[in-house]
Chains A and B, each alone.
Chain A
Amino acid sequence: MSHSAHSPRGGLRIAIGAALLVFSGLLFVRAAGPWPGDAIVWPAAITVLGALLIWRAPAVAPRRRRGWAAHRPPEPALPRESPVRMRALRRPEVSRGGLGVALVLAGGFAFLWANGALRPAGEALLAALAVLIAVALIFAPSWRRLARSLAAERTERIRSQERADVGAHLHDSVLQTLALIQQSAEDPKQVAALARSQERELRGWLAGGDSHEAGDTLAAALDAAAAEVEVAVGGSVEVVAVGDCPLEERGGAVVAATREAMLNAAKFAGEAPISVYAELSEERIHVFVRDRGAGFDPEAVPPERRGVRESILGRMQRAGGSATVRALPGGGTEVEIAIDRGDRS
């Protein structure tokens, strides 16, 4: 079973397990205790099961796409004989609500049949069934047409809403930035910073990251810190984060130390790009900040300069992690920041 949004992990096993426990209880009462009779209890149990399925059935709602996928046109329908279509049709989705309705009806019929109530009403029921089938056969095509036109109208409404969303987003972000760039055309540094900031924002939006507030997770906080450094000092900071984890106290120390390392690199590495590589997992946080500037000797830093010593090395030691500053062969500097996330329970 797939773990979709409508079937949480282990939900089916929990439901079957609970049903088996109830079933065993009924069997035990049937063997040992006062038992109202099979004709009453089993239809009632089937009906209750069906009712539970109906009550727990998810509301039908269109799945919201995120980021760029939210504005992609829907994929065209596959031809009827396509092997992909055949594969897709082999696994029909069972409607929980439909199954519940069927079980409730089956429980009702079983109760009536087991108690002999169906025999007198048999002819009337048969006539009603025949009328129902005839009505369904007569009106089915028009119901189908109505359902199709409603679905088409709904799709068109969703598309126009998505187009409006994209237009609004483009106006608020890209067009505004282009206007700012026009105003700052004589300042290349400002233009580059604006373009970088817009690129970062657009990439995040295309990747579907707009659902997270900046600083919500560690990767988002590192991105936000890089953007701050670019705006404050200039230069170009590339952040690549593998994985992600929530931002808590230790993550906050890593972000602050990484920000300081990026600031130092942006100040002293000149125009050389700064790259930040972060491996983020539930167990450990590992960040590298590299630049290709002139490089420096960490031992030669005067004691009164506290940027590296306190804001990076000292901060990480106090947080229970480590930081290492090393000169790269051929020029440049690398700051390695690592910390275990440890037992968070």
Chain B
Amino acid sequence: MRRSPNITVLMCGIVVLALGVLLVLGAGGTIDLRFAYTVPVIVAALGAILLASGLASRRRGRG
């Protein structure tokens, strides 16, 4: 039987990758990584993970 990927874990990986890329760009001076810009990014990452987790849970519930 085919196993579907765990969407929550997948989203966590994508979010960590995106944060890593942002940190690298910030360290290199390509983008301006101030506190006022970092906080929304972290909040958005948390929101994306929660959203993916909720959608995955609803999908499992539907069977």
Contacts and interface: CB of A to CB of B under 8 A. Distances in A.
A116 interface: no
B61 A9 contact: yes
A83 interface: no
Contact of A10 (B37, B47, B57, B63): B57
Contacts of B43: 20, 23-24, 27
B1 A12 contact: no
Q: DSSP class of B's interface residues: helix, strand, loop or mixed?
A: helix
Contacts of A342: 1
Interface string A1-42: 001000011111111111111011101101110000000000
A28 to B, nearest CB: 4
A39 B44 CA distance: 23
B50 to A, nearest CB: 3
Contacts of A31: 34, 36-37, 40
Interface residues of B, number: 26
Contacts of B46: 17, 20
Contact of A12 (B41, B52, B54): B54
Interface residues of A, number: 28
A21 B48 contact: yes
Nearest to A28: B40
Nearest to B42: A24
Contacts of A15: 54
Contact of A345 (B2, B40, B56): B2
Given A9-B60, A11-B58, A283-B1, A17 B40 contact: no
B54 A14 contact: yes
A3 B44 contact: no
Contact of B37 (A3, A11, A28, A345): A28
A24 B47 contact: yes
Contacts of A28: 37, 40
Interface in B2-45: 2, 34, 36-37, 39-41, 43-44
A17 B47 contact: yes
A3 B62 CA distance: 13
Given A10-B55, A16-B47, A17-B52, 19 more contacts: A10-B58, A13-B51, A13-B54, A14-B50, A14-B55, A16-B50, A17-B50, A17-B54, A20-B44, A20-B47, A20-B50, A23-B43, A24-B39, A24-B40, A27-B39, A28-B40, A31-B37, A282-B63, A283-B1
30 contacts: A8-B58, A8-B61, A9-B61, A10-B56, A10-B57, A10-B58, A10-B61, A13-B50, A13-B51, A13-B57, A14-B50, A14-B51, A17-B49, A17-B50, A17-B51, A17-B53, A20-B47, A20-B50, A21-B44, A21-B48, A23-B47, A24-B40, A24-B47, A27-B39, A28-B37, A31-B40, A342-B1, A343-B1, A343-B2, A345-B2
Interface of B: 1-2, 34, 36-37, 39-41, 43-44, 46-58, 60-61, 63
Interface of A: 3, 8-21, 23-25, 27-28, 30-32, 282-283, 342-343, 345
